[in-house]
Amino acid sequence: MRKELTIRGLIIGVVITLVLTAANVYCGLKAGLTFSTSIPAAVISMAILRGFRDATVQENNIVQTVASAAGTLSSIIFVLPGLIMIGYWTEFPFWTSFWICALGGILGVMYSIPLRRALVTTSDLPYPEGVACAEVLKVGSSGDSEHASDVEHGRAGLLAVMWGSIVAAVFAIIVATQLFASDVAQTFRIGKRGAVSGYDFSLSFLLFAIGHLVGLSVGLAMLIGATIGWGLGVPHFSAIAGDVTTAAAALAQKTWSTKVRFVGAGAIGVSAIWTLLKLVKPVVRGLASAMAASRARKAGKADTLPITERDIPIGIVGLVTLVCMLPIAWLLGYFGNTSGLGAHLPTLIIGGVVYIVLMSFFVSAVCGYMAGLIGSSNSPLSGIGILVVIGAALLLVIGVKPYVGPDAGKALMAFALFTTAVIFNVAAIANNNLQDLKTGQLVDATPWKQQVALVIGVVAGAFVIPPVLDLMNRAYGFMGVPGVETRPNPLPAPQAGLISSLAKGVIAADIDWSLIWTGALIGVCIILLDEILARTTKHMRVPPLAVGLGIYLPTQSTLMIVVGAIAGWFFDRRADRTPKPEATKQLGVLLASGLIVGESVILVVISAIVAFSGVAAPLALVGPGFETAGIIIGGAAFAATAVILYRWILRMATARST
């Protein structure tokens, strides 16, 4: 009997999950983007299990399935920091945060099971990440001489991930010593009316690698957004203010955070909702297909199904879903009671549970389809968060706000975010689950074993996220929190800022909606441009959501992503001239994944040192007078390292093809 769901596989998967979850949490808070962890996890798993003679491709698949929860569950950072931003929490209580992540994640697994046959088995959806991961697993599991080159490629992939991680980690440590500058930044005045602008290139291999992964179109779209934000928005609003006494850097930061970010929020909101609207028709078609598949299955017997068609029985799915709703109801009641809304607990609990049940099913269907269509990494999860938080806030305004005092506004905002967090986890897991099940289908895995592995991965990830979030909050803080300006390099957490701002705006009605509408208009213009390009060119696109992120994020987070996207494009063009172009490009993807993991993990460690030492730069070896030298040395070292890594990958790919 082949090995598949094994204790050793689960242990390896959980260990990888712990590392990649921490990495993805930092990555999402820093850049507003998370990376797919399935392929790096599969490469690491293959390297470890290669030492066991009885290891199988199906066991490797279970390991990557557990670990894929890392990239997925960490998306909760798009909501949960909002409770800090509105001033409701000052830290992340472990058990409350854990249960939000665990219960929402388990519901995501359960809700997506009935959709598997329609959206995976009988669907022609491409599932780009699921197919790519299956190919990696097949390559790494080829053991005969006929596939020797495939095995060599698997070893090359492991080397790419390993050395990428080591190089990025070492560079981040040197930056922490301040021998290398952390960024190359400049703020300046424009004209005589007090207008300011600036730029900030962060010397971060994490951001560089994200650029490689998202590609040229997304990178250039973010550059357009940064140009709108800092080339037009910041100069325009600072000129209107006419402040010529405040320092240029402080004025630019204030203008961006109080004005331009809300323009970006409007652009993100319109772009995300547009992306969802485009998927309404295919999602409805997919649901109809799911129901037809369910009716067809009733005509046969479960034990006659092939192994690749055996899901967790629907009765158990229903029971687990019901069992999850009980602690969710208790959590809603506990949260409502501690926030001062105890007099309205029946309304909050019943309304909250009904809203979670209905919206969870909706987002599972939408996200499952989106993952199959464009990949789980590219799905507009922020659009789901926007719709869910606006719906929750509107229901609270209608059903509870008229019956509470004016001082209950913060509690209502917090309750809306709390409810959104649970549903957002369902959306994130459903977004990933079907991608994993597609990988399983292609390597002849057993669906119910994968589904069990996903639940285990969700619980493992839920243990990691709260302490890592707490570390990030204590070490750096989040933009938008009062007083955070005094701390070095606060984390943008863009989606959490946007979603909390919308909750606050709907309930307290204190947002300058003219800025939101300006951003929405920009978003509409970008959508029209993107649609025109889609109909008139073969490859050139301007993803509207990326433009919105470019406006919303600080240039510290966007400009190096743009550099990485351009560098990745040049690398891919060079890879096209190698004997095996696609295999070479895949090595580039694995190198980028390693760079992200290496820097993210070491920065989590450095964050712990910062948090527990109480010193902003505990590893610093030089003082402020070394800044100019640090910029020159660090910038040169960064560029040289990037070139050396790419040349090494190309040489390795060419050598293994001959």
Which range of 13-22, 150-159, 162-171, 367-376 scores highest in mean pLDDT? It is: 162-171
Residue carrying the six token digits 């780009």: 128
Banded model confidence at residue 355, pLDDT cuts 50, 70, 90: very high
Residue 211 has pLDDT above 90, yes or no: no
pLDDT greater at residue 394 or residue 311:
394
pTM (predicted TM-score): 0.73
- What are the tens digits of pLDDT across the range 416-456? 998 999 998 888 887 777 778 888 888 888 888 888 888 88
Query: Taking residues 608-616, what's their average pLDDT?
Result: 73
Residue 571 has pLDDT above 70, yes or no: yes
CB atoms within 10 A of CB 134: 23
Banded model confidence at residue 337, pLDDT cuts 50, 70, 90: confident
Angle, in degrees to the nearest 10, between helices 409-442 and 314-338: 160
Banded model confidence at residue 294, pLDDT cuts 50, 70, 90: low
Query: Taking residues 323-345, what's their average pLDDT?
Result: 88
Residue 297 has pLDDT above 60, yes or no: no
Banded model confidence at residue 38, pLDDT cuts 50, 70, 90: confident
Contact in structure between 591 and 160 (CB atoms under 8 Å): yes
In the chain, the percentage of residues whose pLDDT exceeds 70 is 84
- What are the tens digits of pLDDT across the range 454-497? 888 889 888 888 998 888 888 888 877 877 666 767 887 777 88
pLDDT greater at residue 59 or residue 281:
59
Specify the pLDDT at position 145.
38
Specify the pLDDT at position 485.
65
Banded model confidence at residue 371, pLDDT cuts 50, 70, 90: low
Mean pLDDT of the chain: 81
How far out from the chain centre does Cα 18 lie?
16
* 3-class DSSP state of 615: coil
Enumerate helices (H) and strands (E) in the chain, giving the number of each: 25, 2
Specify the pLDDT at position 461.
86
Residue 531 has pLDDT above 50, yes or no: yes
Contact in structure between 232 and 519 (CB atoms under 8 Å): no
Q: Return the minimum-mean-pLDDT range out of 138-147, 566-575, 627-636.
A: 138-147
- What are the tens digits of pLDDT across the range 125-150? 667 667 767 766 776 665 433 444 55
* 3-class DSSP state of 217: helix
Specify the pLDDT at position 301.
47
Specify the pLDDT at position 194.
77
β-pair partners for 187: 198
Strands (E), 191-341: 195-202
Contact in structure between 596 and 30 (CB atoms under 8 Å): no
Residue 309 has pLDDT above 70, yes or no: no
Residue 341 identity (one-letter amino acid): L
Domain residue limits, the chain: 7-143+286-296+324-486
| Rounded distance between C-alpha atoms, residue 74 and residue 35, angstroms | 10
Q: In this structure, what are the phi and psi dihedrals at residue 55, rounded to the nearest 5 degrees?
A: -70, 145
Query: Taking residues 560-567, what's their average pLDDT?
Result: 92
Residue 154 has pLDDT above 60, yes or no: yes
Contact in structure between 450 and 313 (CB atoms under 8 Å): no
Q: Token digits for 493?
A: 């957490």
Residue 275 has pLDDT above 60, yes or no: yes
Question: Which residues are CB-neighbours of 613 under 8 A, at least 6 positions away?
Answer: none
pLDDT greater at residue 656 or residue 250:
250
Specify the pLDDT at position 300.
56
Residue 330 has pLDDT above 90, yes or no: yes
Comparing CA positions, the residue from 89, 192, 152, 175 lying closest to residue 617 is 175
Return the DSSP state at 619. Answer: T
CB atoms within 10 A of CB 653: 23
Residue 207 has pLDDT above 90, yes or no: no
Name the CA dihedral angle for 623, 628, 630, 631, rounded to a multiple of 10 degrees.
140
